[in-house]
Amino acid sequence: MFCRFTTCLDSRKTGHRVQQGVFKEDIRKYAWGLPECFRSIEDGDERSQNTRIKRGEDLGPFVLDVLKEFGNILANTFLCEHKNLSGQPEADRFAEDRDLLKPYQKIMGRLSEMESLPMVYLNELAREARMELRMIESHVKDVKMEWGKMFRTSTKSAQARMLVDLRQKFESNPDVPHLSHLGDVPEIRASCAYRLCSPKNPTSAFSLAFDTLCKIKARESGGTTLNREFAELVTIPKIAVRTLSALRSDV
C-alpha cells in the first residue's frame, strides 16, 4: 500500500502513473459523494442516495462535523473581537512595543544613574557616552530621512539596490568607544530607530534593522532567533540525501 501511495504522491516528479485499469476500478469502488459537512446548502436533495453520504444516527456526530462546528465558533469569536477593536482609542490599538524600546531606555537609565553618582570619572564617562548616544540618534534620523526620500522618489527596481546600501550605512554608525562599554550598540541603534517611528507604522525601523529587532523581541520573550548557522545545522547535506536515495533504490 505504501508503494502505491508513494507512486501517486511523486507522480509529477517521477512520471510514474497507476495503471488505468486499477485507477478506474478504484474510482468505481471508492469515489463516493462528499459528506454532509462538505456539501453546500444550495445542493438540496436533488441528488440521489448514491452520490450523497449520510451518517447513521446511532453513530453519533461525524468528526468532521464536530471540527467544522468548532471552527465556526472560533471564527465568530475572533470576528467579534476584531469588530470590537474598532471602538478602542487609537493609542490602545497601536501601542509601542516595550521590548523593542528597552535597549534605548536601558542605556538612558544607566547614564542618568551614573551622572547622579559623586565619582568624577563616572560622570565623565557618562557625559562622553551621552554625547555618543546623541551622535547615534542623529545618525539614525539622517538614515531614516534618506529611507523616506528613497521610497518617495525612486522606482521599485532601484529601491532594492539602494536599500542594501542604506542598511550598510545604517549599521556603520559613528565611533562610540565610551557607549560600547555600557551597552550593545547595534541593539541601541535599532531600538532608537524603532523609537523614532510611529507605533502605527514602524516600517522604516524594520526595513533597516529587521534582524536586530527580531533578536531583541525573541530574547525579551524568552525565545531565540533562527540564524544562518543554526539553519545549516538542521539542514540535511546533499551527500546524505544522495546516499539515502541510493540505499532506498537498492532495497
For the chain (length 251 residues), average pLDDT per consecutive 10?
Answer: 70 78 81 63 48 64 81 88 65 72 92 83 86 93 90 78 89 86 92 88 89 89 64 66 71 52
Q: pLDDT at position 232, please? A: 62
pLDDT at 108: 92
Q: Please, are residues 154 and 209 in contact by the beta-carbon 8 Å criterion?
A: no
Using CB atoms within 10 A of its CB, is residue 126 exposed (0-12), middle (13-18) or buried (19+)? Answer: buried
Model-wide pTM > 0.75: no
Domain boundaries, the chain: 2-51, 59-86, 94-233
Residue with cell 524603532: 194
User: Which triple of cell numbers denotes residue 227?
Assistant: 540564524
